[in-house]
Amino acid sequence: MKKATQNGLLLGSAAVISPNILQGATHSNSEIETKRLPLRIWLASGLSKELEQKLKAISPEITLFHNETNSSNADFLSEIDVCFGRISESELAKAKNLKWVHSSSAGVEKQLFPAMLKRQEIQMSNAKGCYGPAIAEHTFGLLFALTRGIKEQALNMPKQEWKGVSNQIEMRNLTMGIIGFGGIGREIARRAKAMDLRVLAADIRPMTQETTGNLVDELHDVSFGGLEKVLEKSNIIVSAVPHTKQTEDMFDMAAFQKMPKNSYFINISRGKVAKTTDLMKALESGHLAGAGLDVTDPEPLPKDHALWDFPNVIITSHISGRSQYSSLRSQEVFVENVNRYVAGLPLINAVDKEAGF
């Protein structure tokens, strides 16, 4: 399969890694400053053999510890400067020399425990944008399962029933509101515009129409009532926000009631941003036409949970980010970041640990 690349990074989609991220993306060994060498890296999430060779080629002073390494070994953890993947609180306590963690996922909330926040010397970066194309496609898979009656049709197959469904709708002229307009939100918007949807977006970060191109019809700031404005105008709401203190239970009964009657709620971000009991009430009352959930609260959803039985809900098991490209994109961003770290350049996808994303 032919892969689209730019500066050696697998794109898979033109918008996955923006030009500003790629600026200065490759460096020869002669350009690399040695002040951050030697460098000892724990590959907690693992790398492909090809990318591991690229990592070793950056400098002979780079030492790799693999994910099979016994993380209970205090001597091993005390040596590492960098962790690729997830590090636990107990492991962090032993990693006295740790200077940088690169999360192999976009969400970092599980690594922002108090001890990590106290270690101000530790930089953090993540895989923002790497899973965007897959998640965007999954978003529409969930939506189509509801709007095209695909869920009901699939349930008829084991019964061998040729039985149609009613009330199927087209996307044309509907309005999609995307809450959280980072890499994932923008990938969703690109596909929504191609389906003739009107697209609104709200984000906590200040943005302008100029910086978002033609992806949105309206852009709103959450700090100035933007969430409410988007909720009130949208037939479809997609949650693409990270889980932070500010976003937990963001979608509660008040939020659902602001949405027009017979609208749809799609959550492909984190389960805790939506209040499950309120979501079920909005569905039971008929105010919401349906919900597509790749994430839930609690997660995993217990077998006896009432949400499983809703006919107007489609649930997948937190798999929206998976594809043949997603993990490789994340690994490539990490390797590029090692180049940049050694050279003293700003990291791609740097995380604000206090803000949580």
Q: pLDDT value at position 30?
A: 39
25: how many CB neighbours lie within 10 A of its CB? 18
What are residue 292's DSSP bridge partners?
266, 314
Q: pLDDT value at position 207?
A: 72
Q: pLDDT value at position 70?
A: 55
Do the two domains 5-129+324-343 and 132-315 of this chain adopt the same fold? yes
pLDDT in tens, 174-207: 999 999 998 899 999 999 999 999 999 999 887 7
Q: pLDDT value at position 165?
A: 85
pLDDT in tens, 206-246: 776 667 778 999 999 998 899 999 999 999 999 999 999 99
Average pLDDT over residues 74-85: 90
Number of H helices, E strands in the chain: 13, 14
| Percent of the chain's residues with pLDDT above 70 | 87
Kindly tell me if the per-residue pLDDT of 111 is higher than 80. yes
Peptide linkage before 298 cis (omega within 30 of 0): yes
Average pLDDT over residues 37-45: 93
Kindly tell me if the per-residue pLDDT of 108 is higher than 70. yes
Kindly tell me if the per-residue pLDDT of 32 is higher than 80. no
Domain boundaries, the chain: 5-129+324-343, 132-315
What is the layout of strands, in order, in the sheet containing 236-239?
218-221, 198-203, 175-179, 236-239, 263-267, 288-293, 313-315
pLDDT in tens, 288-324: 999 999 999 999 999 999 999 999 999 999 999 999 9
* CATH number, domain 132-315, options 3.40.50.261, 3.90.480.20, 3.30.465.10, 3.40.50.720: 3.40.50.720
**Rounded-to-integer distance, Cα 132 and Cα 182, Å:** 9
Q: Are 100 and 124 in contact (CB under 8 A)?
A: yes
Q: What average pLDDT is seen over the chain?
A: 88
Q: pLDDT value at position 123?
A: 95
Q: Which residue has the higher pLDDT, 352 or 23?
A: 352
Beta strands in 27-114 (DSSP E): 39-43, 62-66, 82-84, 100-102
pLDDT in tens, 249-292: 999 999 999 999 999 999 999 999 999 999 999 999 999 999 99
Q: pLDDT value at position 210?
A: 63
Q: pLDDT value at position 235?
A: 97
What are residue 66's DSSP bridge partners?
43
Residue 66's pLDDT band, with cuts at 50, 70 and 90, is confident
Kindly tell me if the per-residue pLDDT of 10 is higher than 70. no
Q: State the residue for tokens 């999609």.
A: 176
Q: State the burial class of residue 311 (Cβ atoms within 10 Å of its Cβ: 0-12, 13-18, 19+).
A: exposed
Kindly tell me if the per-residue pLDDT of 1 is higher than 60. no
CATH 3.40.50.720 fits 5-129+324-343, yes or no: yes
Residue 187 CA: distances (Å) to CA of 17, 133, 182, 201:
11, 6, 9, 12
